[in-house]
Amino acid sequence: MSAHSLNSYIIHLPILQVVVCRFCEIGVLPKDPLDHYRRHHTSSKEYPIPMEIRHKIAAYMKTLDLCDPKEIIPPERRIPQIKIIEEGWMCKFPDCHKCATTEPSIRTHYYTHRNPIPNGFKNWEETSLQTIFDGQHKK
């Protein structure tokens, strides 16, 4: 199966060195692409992908120069192929602008700027955001 025939399942973004699932609109981890499909695309899920296709995607991904998720540098602009998370948070500390997907995580981040943080103090705001990967590799 050629890379072209996999285009209905994945998108390769060479500038970011990632592969994005067309159904989930999140990055597929290069070291274990089958894990993404086990969690999101089995026969009991909304977008099932046959095992044969999953293995072809994994084999194709091995031929690509993909970035380790720990080393991803989030782009400054929105990427149309990646899902937009409507409910996120952005740090308002001068020149920071770090984003997080939960308020507790942005509060934890804020400790890097100011410790302790008084009760009721908030120097972050709600925002929409994108993250290339989910789980522990969220950035």
Residue 90 pairs with which residues in a beta bridge?
99, 125
Domain co-membership, 12 together with 64? yes
**What does pTM read for this prediction?**
0.82
Q: Looking at residue 6, what is its pLDDT?
A: 94
Query: Are residues 93 and 66 both part of a single domain?
Result: no
pLDDT of residue 8: 94
With H, G, I as helix, E, B as strand and everything else as coil, classify residue 18.
Answer: strand
Rounded CA separation 45/13 (Å):
25
Q: Let me know if residue 78 belongs to a domain.
A: no
Q: Is residue 132 domain-resident?
A: yes
Give 8 or 4, the one with higher predicted confidence. 8
pLDDT band at 116 (very low <50, low <70, confident <90, very high): confident
Give the range of the structural domain holding residue 62, as residue numbers without chain letter. Answer: 4-71
Q: Is 60 exceeded by the pLDDT of residue 1?
A: no
65 and 90, same domain (yes or no): no
Q: In whole numbers, what is the pLDDT of the chain averaged over residues? A: 91
Residue 34 included in any domain = yes
Structurally, how many domains does the chain consist of? 2
3-class DSSP state of 13: strand
35: helix, coil or strand? Answer: helix
Domain assignment present for residue 123? The answer is yes
| Residue 8 counted as domain residue | yes
CB 133 within 8 A of CB 69: yes
For residue range 48-95, list pLDDT tens digits in order: 999 999 999 999 999 999 999 999 887 888 999 999 999 999 999 999
In a shared domain, residues 52 and 101: no
pLDDT at 120: 86
